[in-house]
Amino acid sequence: MAYVFKAKHPFIPPTEDKQIETLPFLEASREILILIDYLGPSFLKSAFHRTRADIDGNITTLQNKYNSNPDLYQTLNSMISDELHSSQTSATVALLWLKRGLEFIFHFCEKLIAESVDHKPHTQSLCDITLKSYELSLKRFHSFIVRGLFYLVAHILPSRKDFFKLLAGGQDCKEEEVEKELRMFVEGLDPNLKIINELYINMGKNEDC
């Protein structure tokens, strides 16, 4: 069975000296949009649409920065370091917000598969998982209005079973197979997020912008 979320461009580990290659990271980040799209048609008129649009827009900003000088911006580290010593901040802000969006997706997927890891009965509603993930990531950076929209939409998401079926291309599927793909995604994204967080903490900019 061909799973929709089977990554063609998975997140690759940072190098031993904690460098993140720009192009592979952006290609992997684009595949996040597939997962968001399959959370349901409510995205078309919801706070989640803003999350998707933000992720897509930040990827585009970073891609354009990379395209302006591929040799210089081979890694995200060099891109941010270059801006640190100039008056430009477009990539710095874009990566920071992309990180926050990816953290929401990371926590969502992590919690989605945690029940199986802990051998707990699966909860069919995605509402609690979504809201807990939101609180751990994007909530403190959003306005009161966006928070309200997010909470509203979280209550009309598809069930876990239907969501997994969507990720399996609309076919009946074994949940453990979808969980396997999600687990690989989480394990690939985690070290990248840690390095990006470390990068911003060292710059004193983790909560700025």
Residues 54-100: pLDDT tens digits?
999 999 999 999 999 999 999 999 999 999 888 889 999 999 999 99
Does the predicted model carry a pTM greater than 0.95?
A: no
Q: What is the per-residue pLDDT for 40?
A: 55
d(CA 153, CA 166): 18
Give which of 45, 188, 185 is closest to 113, Cα–Cα: 185
For residue 28, give Cα distances in angstroms to 34, 40, 84, 137, 141.
Answer: 11, 21, 25, 20, 24
Q: Which CATH number does the domain 22-203 belong to among 1.10.3520.10, 3.90.800.10, 3.40.50.300, 1.10.3720.10?
A: 1.10.3520.10
d(CA 170, CA 167): 7
Domain ranges of the chain: 22-203
Q: In 3-state terms, what secondary structure has residue 75? A: strand
d(CA 89, CA 82): 10
